[in-house]
Amino acid sequence: MRRINTVLSAILLVVADQLIKLLVIARLKPIGSLGVINGFLRLNYVENTGAAFGSFSSHTAILSIVTFLAVAVGFYYILSGKIKFGFEYVCILLVLSGGTGNLIDRVFRGFVIDYIEPTFIDFAVFNFADILVTCGAVLLIIWLTKDCVKEIREIGREK
């Protein structure tokens, strides 16, 4: 049952990402950008051929292969039961779902569609899949750091 829920959750997140991007193509691409909250947030259509912050923009094929391998290995591990269900599991699922959404763009469009632009800081334009990857990774790092600190304290108490 956990495997089915995992697959359905991933599909739901990837479909949400792709539906948002289809909406962005239909509504935002023709106008380019749209102010949402003045001085804070703008929707801005960007075709990103690279990775985070546009890095590796001339290596879309390599990015696609690396992303595919990472996502395939990640899904293998969570579906095989090698990672126990819990907070870490959900974080990894978020990262893999976001990676899959952007991989679909790279493979079928040759670029990733980005559209969320914070205007209150100098920051890259990003998308829903990027939010999944970032939130999953940051929460996992916080969780693992907390877990490491807890283990270090327990070792200190044993001495």
62-102: pLDDT as tens digits:
888 999 999 999 999 999 988 888 999 999 999 999 999 99
Longest dimension (CA), the chain: 66
At residue 119, the pLDDT reads 96
Cα 55 from Cα 109, distance rounded (Å): 18
In the chain, pLDDT over 70 holds for what percent of residues?
94
Whether residue 144 is predicted with pLDDT greater than 60 in this model: the reply is yes
Full DSSP string of 69-131: HHHHHHHHHHHHTSS-SSHHHHHHHHHHHHHHHHHHHHHHHSSEEEEEEESSS----B-HHHH
Q: What is the pLDDT of residues 3-51, one digit of tens each?
A: 899 999 999 999 999 999 999 999 999 999 999 999 999 999 999 987 6
Residues annotated as part of the active site = 114, 130
Q: Count how many domains the chain has.
A: 1
* Better-scored residue on pLDDT, 83 or 128: 128
The pLDDT of 46-59, averaged and rounded, is 71
Whole-model pTM: value is 0.88
Cα 135 from Cα 130, distance rounded (Å): 8
The boundaries of the domain holding residue 150 are: 2-158
At residue 149, the pLDDT reads 92
At residue 106, the pLDDT reads 93
Structure tokens, 54: 């546009």
